[in-house]
């Protein structure tokens, strides 16, 4: 197995708008991030992924870019960015940038020019079509942010495609000039010294040939617009191979594609060592389906088996588009601390690059605002707007709240003070009222906090490459609340036991683990120092054990019988 820095990395995502505000205008900014670099290196993460910091009118908080080589005024200047890069590198932290090239802002000069006339040399940089009969949009595709995915441009009488908001027109990747412009921009950032890209909806850049109508579900009131075939269209792999040839392969950098709509087998096609496309991907199976615990295990097993020896995996349970992981996969009530620690234990010992999201290291939770006026996300606001004429505000909020993206976007909770220590002014979005108890300052003071658990796990992972490169196999039951697995290398082996429930469980370990395993990291301060045949697991108990030299497991290393028995655990 070839070792690489990026395989060993733990990535921490920063949503700059909500991280740290240095000048009291209520908006997080680059100097704010710089001021937190010491905190981040104390924590022990390796790579920072910055959600977009480019010039943007902020229709979708920076995912609508109007200048790829400029910095958003609210966030600072290019000089601030250069300082961030230097200061991060000084501390051994790397920086990866968000690459949003499925679409630009409608205020990007490319689109302004494209829209200016049908004969503009940049007309074909975007996807323009004549209206359908009766002036209707060219097809029935639904935008991710509600309504038609087409917007009529009155001046030219043509529609342009936007899979996201109408202020995010899709680029036409069939045009070689578009591809060249994007590649030039990528080289420019790489030459500046960035360490990689996270690639926004990168598997949507190849459009379905002919832009066909999507099938309408049968029923009495068929919807006017329906989701189209947006992801993984023919041609996508050729585009990414070209991007690799033209740009990526020239740098020792990290790449991670946001890849919706794949399974373990089709996901691998994007990152297989021999496919020369991307190095890594986010897949969303586990984030979307893994709330069902046996399903989570099954998915981890499936992805591990598919990727083993063929490509490098990653693992993430939340980001700026999703609910908070402790609220979704754990218990943000009485067992918040314990369940957040269990989730951390899983993320930092499971196979694949862990992607952490700001605030998860202190167990930040979903938010529950009473009024739509306190929400900011375009997806949420549009959905609300579409329904409010027919339904009550309370009903809509009750339905949208749990899944909404603003759960992840409330400001980072640094202190119990006003503005959660995020800003001395009025934060652009209200802080979660629970910052009085859940904040970095308080967590640092408490060695049993979620924060210290992350810190300890991060240090432990760094010191023990088996947790990165070792084999993985599930141990014991595939049903029930306890998820146990082994990570093993040539020199040592780790057993991870997670009681993914609020119920205490009497757990019987397979014989081969019953002796010689000592506890190295535990979620409860009073964990038993040794594993034994029968373990009484407390609610949300999470424990990592290390096989001591001379334990039965290590004595079996290389023993065919032991190995196949282990593998079959993982496959069951
Ligand atoms: O967030 C979603 C569902 O709640 C997804 O549909 C999301 O829009 C999708 O994951 C794509 O996300 C990425 O591209 C969007 C941007 O709004 C997201 O923030 C970004 O992560 C458009 O650039
Ligand atoms: Ca600011």
pLDDT in tens, 137-171: 999 999 999 999 999 999 999 999 999 999 999 99
| Nearest one of 443, 361, 367, 438 to 14, comparing CA atoms | 361
Atom 19 of ligand 1: nearest residue by CA position: 321
Mean pLDDT, residues 468-494 taken together:
93
The preferred substitution site among 200, 228, 287 for testing ligand 1, maximizing ligand atoms within 8 Å of CB, is 200
Answer yes or no: 258 catalytic: yes
Q: Does 377 contact ligand 1 (Cβ within 6 A)?
A: no
Residue 164 CA: nearest ligand 1 atom is 22
Whether 458 lines ligand 1, by a CB cut-off of 6 Å, is no
CA-proximal residue: ligand 1, atom 20 (nearest) = 200
Ligand 1 geometric centre to CA of 321 (Å):
6
Band of residue 550 on the pLDDT scale cut at 50, 70, 90 = low
Confirm whether 195 is a catalytic residue.
no
Taking the model in full, what pTM does it have?
Answer: 0.95
**pLDDT value for 553:** 53
pLDDT in tens, 38-58: 999 999 999 999 999 999 999
| Nearest protein Cα to ligand 1, atom 4 | 321
Q: Check if 59 has its Cβ closer than 6 Å to any atom of ligand 1.
A: no
Indicate which atom in ligand 1 lies nearest the CA of residue 60: 17
422-452 burial: b if 16+ Cβ within 10 Å, else e: bbeeebbbbbbebbeebbbebbeeeeebbbb
Q: Which ligand is nearest to the CA of 103?
A: 1
Catalytic-labelled residue, pool 98, 200, 332, 361: 200
State the chain's mean pLDDT as an integer.
94
Q: Say if residue 132's pLDDT is above 60.
A: yes
Ligand nearest to the CA of 422: 2
**If pLDDT is split at 50, 70 and 90, which confidence band does 506 have?**
very high
Q: Are strands 254-258 and 67-71 parallel, antiparallel or unpaired?
A: unpaired
- Residue 103 CA: nearest ligand 1 atom is 23
Across 525-532, average pLDDT: 90
Tell how far the Cα of 28 is from the centroid of ligand 1, in angstroms. Answer: 20
CA 179-61-385 angle, 5° bins? 115
* Mean pLDDT, rounded, for 22-40: 98
Structural contact between residues 169 and 103, judged by C-beta atoms closer than 8 angstroms: yes
Report which of 526, 499, 544 is spatially closest to residue 331, judged by C-alpha positions. 499
Give residue for tokens 């295990």.
297
- pLDDT exceeds 50 at position 561: no
106 lines ligand 1 (CB under 6 A): no
């Amino acid at each position: 197995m070839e070792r690489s820095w990026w395989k060993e990395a733990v990535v921490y995502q920063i949503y700059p708008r909500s991280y740290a505000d240095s000048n009291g205008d209520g908006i997080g900014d680059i100097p704010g991030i710089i001021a937190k670099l010491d905190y981040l290196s104390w924590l022990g993460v390796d790579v920072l992924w910055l959600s977009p910091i480019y010039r943007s009118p902020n229709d979708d908080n920076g995912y609508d870019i109007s200048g790829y080589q400029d910095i958003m005024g609210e966030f600072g200047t290019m000089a601030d960015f250069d300082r961030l890069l230097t200061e991060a590198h000084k501390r051994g932290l790397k920086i990866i940038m968000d690459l949003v090239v499925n679409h630009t802002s409608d205020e990007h000069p490319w689109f302004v020019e494209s829209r200016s006339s049908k004969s503009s040399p940049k007309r074909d940089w975007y996807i323009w079509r004549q209206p359908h009969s009766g002036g209707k949009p060219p097809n029935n595709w639904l935008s991710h942010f509600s309504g038609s995915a087409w917007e009529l441009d009155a001046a030219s009488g043509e529609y342009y495609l936007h899979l996201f908001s109408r202020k995010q027109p899709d680029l036409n990747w069939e045009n070689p000039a578009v591809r060249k412009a994007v590649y030039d921009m990528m080289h420019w950032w790489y030459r500046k010294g960035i360490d990689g890209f996270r690639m926004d909806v990168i598997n949507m850049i190849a459009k379905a040939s002919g832009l066909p109508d999507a099938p309408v579900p049968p029923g009495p009131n068929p919807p006017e617009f329906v989701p189209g075939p947006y992801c993984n269209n023919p041609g996508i792999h050729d585009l990414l191979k070209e991007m690799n040839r033209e740009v990526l392969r020239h740098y020792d950098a990290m790449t991670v594609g946001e890849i919706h709509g794949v399974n373990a087998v089709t996901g691998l096609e994007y990152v297989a060592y021999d496919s020369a496309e991307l190095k890594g991907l986010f897949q969303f199976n586990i984030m979307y389906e893994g709330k069902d615990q046996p399903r989570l295990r099954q998915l981890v097993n499936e992805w591990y088996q598919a990727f083993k020896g063929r490509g490098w995996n990653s693992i993430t349970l939340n980001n700026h588009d999703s609910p908070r992981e402790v609220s979704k996969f754990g218990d943000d009530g009485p067992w918040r601390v314990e369940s957040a620690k269990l989730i951390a234990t899983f993320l930092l010992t499971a196979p694949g690059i862990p992607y952490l999201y700001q605030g998860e290291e202190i167990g930040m939770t979903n938010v529950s605002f009473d009024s739509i006026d306190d929400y900011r996300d375009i997806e949420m606001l549009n959905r609300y707007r579409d329904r409010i004429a027919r339904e009550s505000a309370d009903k809509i909020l009750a339905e949208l709240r749990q899944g909404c993206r603003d759960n992840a976007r409330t400001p980072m909770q640094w202190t119990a003070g006003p503005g959660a220590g995020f800003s001395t002014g009025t934060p652009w979005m209200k802080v979660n009222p629970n910052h009085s108890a859940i904040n970095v300052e308080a967590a640092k003071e408490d060695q049993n906090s979620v924060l210290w658990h992350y810190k300890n796990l991060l240090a432990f992972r760094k010191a023990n490459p088996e947790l990165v490169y070792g084999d993985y196999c599930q141990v014991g039951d595939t049903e029930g609340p306890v998820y146990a697995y082994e990570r093993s290398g040539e020199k040592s082996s780790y057993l991870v036991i997670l009681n993914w429930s609020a119920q205490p469980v009497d757990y019987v370990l397979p014989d081969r683990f019953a002796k010689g395993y000592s506890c190295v990291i535990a979620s409860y301060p009073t964990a038993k120092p040794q594993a034994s045949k029968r373990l009484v697991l407390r609610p949300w108990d999470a424990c990592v054990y290390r096989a001591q030299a001379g334990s039965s497991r290590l004595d079996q290393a290389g023993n065919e019988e032991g190995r196949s028995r282990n593998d079959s655990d993982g496959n069951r």
